Amino acid sequence: MAFTLEIGQKAPQFSLRATDGKTYSLNDFNDAKVLVIFFTANHCPFVTGSDEVTRKTVQRFEDQGVKFVGINSNSPNTYAEDSWDGMVKRMEEQQFPWTYCHDESQDVARAYGALRTPHFYVFDQNRELIYTGRAIDNPRESEKMKVNDLERALEEHLAGKEISIPLTNPIGCNVKWEGKDEHWMPADACDLVQS
């Protein structure tokens, strides 16, 4: 079995505490026509370099029934900024327009097969995976981006078209796994698109 969810697979369930103090599960987003779940962090330069692009994407598609859930699965023992308190502080400062959840056990990152931060998963109304990978081609320096794969996938799906490129490789820092070296990745983790 592949490490990362494959196109057509169902979104795994979760129950995670968010920075607003509430606990959310997949069912709390049943009213979303499209659900975007993305693995993110507080410290990663690929995340901080592209958060404003993600904000614009959320704002652009929210009226079309698209909801976004950010999940931080990083071990704070690798980067202290990725702690729960760091998440709350970052949300207070940035006021991001998505639900920001903490995957302290890292079980959700394993269930989805999160490779990097950021790593995006787009699910249709039946919560089947229709796109996964990067949002943009240069998340660290988003002012230099040429391609927004996430927006293209959302545009095509909402227009009733087949997604032309359902798989891309996420670009970013690897997930910081508890008890492992900061660059460690699970043995079965691999690029989604082989070059």
The pLDDT score that the predictor gives to residue 187 is 85
Note whether residue 150 is domain-resident: yes
The pLDDT score that the predictor gives to residue 2 is 80
What 3-state class would DSSP assign to 111?
helix
Q: How many domains does the chain contain in total?
A: 1
Q: With beta carbons less than 8 A apart as the criterion, state whether 112 and 35 touch.
A: no
Q: What is the mean pLDDT of the chain?
A: 96
Note whether residue 193 is domain-resident: no
Residue numbers of the domain that contains 167? 9-174
Note whether residue 126 is domain-resident: yes
The pLDDT score that the predictor gives to residue 186 is 87
Measured CA to CA, the distance from residue 47 to residue 51 in angstroms comes to 6
- The pTM score is 0.97
CA 45 to the chain's CA centroid: 15
Positions in the chain whose pLDDT score sits under 50: none
Measured CA to CA, the distance from residue 168 to residue 191 in angstroms comes to 9
Note whether residue 187 is domain-resident: no
Note whether residue 27 is domain-resident: yes
Bridge pairing between strands 116-117 and 173-174: antiparallel
Note whether residue 52 is domain-resident: yes
Note whether residue 179 is domain-resident: no
User: Residue 55 belongs to a domain with what CATH number?
Assistant: 3.40.30.10
The pLDDT score that the predictor gives to residue 195 is 63
Note whether residue 2 is domain-resident: no
What 3-state class would DSSP assign to 112?
helix
Among positive and negative, which fits the CA dihedral 49, 73, 63, 152? positive
